[in-house]
Chains A and B, each alone.
Chain A
Amino acid sequence: EAGVAQSPRYKIIEKRQSVAFWCNPISGHATLYWYQQILGQGPKLLIQFQNNGVVDDSQLPKDRFSAERLKGVDSTLKIQPAKLEDSAVYLCASSRQGEKLFFGSGTQLSVL
């Protein structure tokens, strides 16, 4: 089966600009996760969806980050405006029953 698809693979922007990431989970997976991974650290959960409802977004900086999951399938994560400290890899993952997570390759964001 196809894995989790993410795009773009890399993105370089200047601070205060906006950026959007896209994720297509594995077909049939109800749970979708967005993680932020800063260099040298473990993944930190930003938001978790169960179908198209939000399970947890307590660590999402809501003044600049937003995310949606349309029709319980694809998802987009947006940052507006970006800050230097947002430079990180943004990982999308999905799972069928909230157990085994399958990750995409991630989007590496550099904010200059």
Chain B
Amino acid sequence: GENVEQHPSTLSVQEGDSAVIKCTYSDSASNYFPWYKQELGKGPQLIIDIRSNVGEKKDQRIAVTLNKTAKHFSLHITETQPEDSAVYFCAAFRSGGSYIPTFGRGTSLIVHP
């Protein structure tokens, strides 16, 4: 099955700095790579996703890059704000209801004002 590794486990930045979270996956058949943000006491919420036919996707201050050859993908947050503080999870799987989404262990992002 798929195995997803996520680093770092904790990331502390100053407001306005950039933050980068990296994930690697093992199954070359995986073609869908979402990122989720989980705030305290809430369920994970999808913030951005990328499919294997695209190398980069951007949505305002967040972007995701994918390197299929190396089997890794990254989340980039620019101009961080205190409200970006949360736990971020990456996932990798084959799209379609018959395939199992596998999540990384999470990165706790702390943005200091």
Contact = CB atoms under 8 A, between A and B. Distances in A.
B97 A97 contact: yes
Interface stretch (B13-21, B57-65, B70-78, B98-106): B98-106
B95 A42 contact: no
A97 B44 contact: no
Contacts of B106: 40-42
Interface of B: prevailing SS: loop
B39 to A, nearest CB: 10
24 contacts: A33-B101, A35-B103, A40-B106, A42-B103, A43-B89, A44-B103, A45-B101, A50-B98, A55-B98, A56-B100, A91-B44, A98-B98, A98-B99, A99-B49, A99-B96, A100-B49, A101-B34, A101-B44, A101-B46, A103-B43, A103-B44, A103-B45, A104-B43, A105-B43
State the 6 A-B residue pairs at the shortest beta-carbon distance, nearest first.
A103-B43, A98-B97, A31-B97, A42-B103, A50-B97, A99-B95
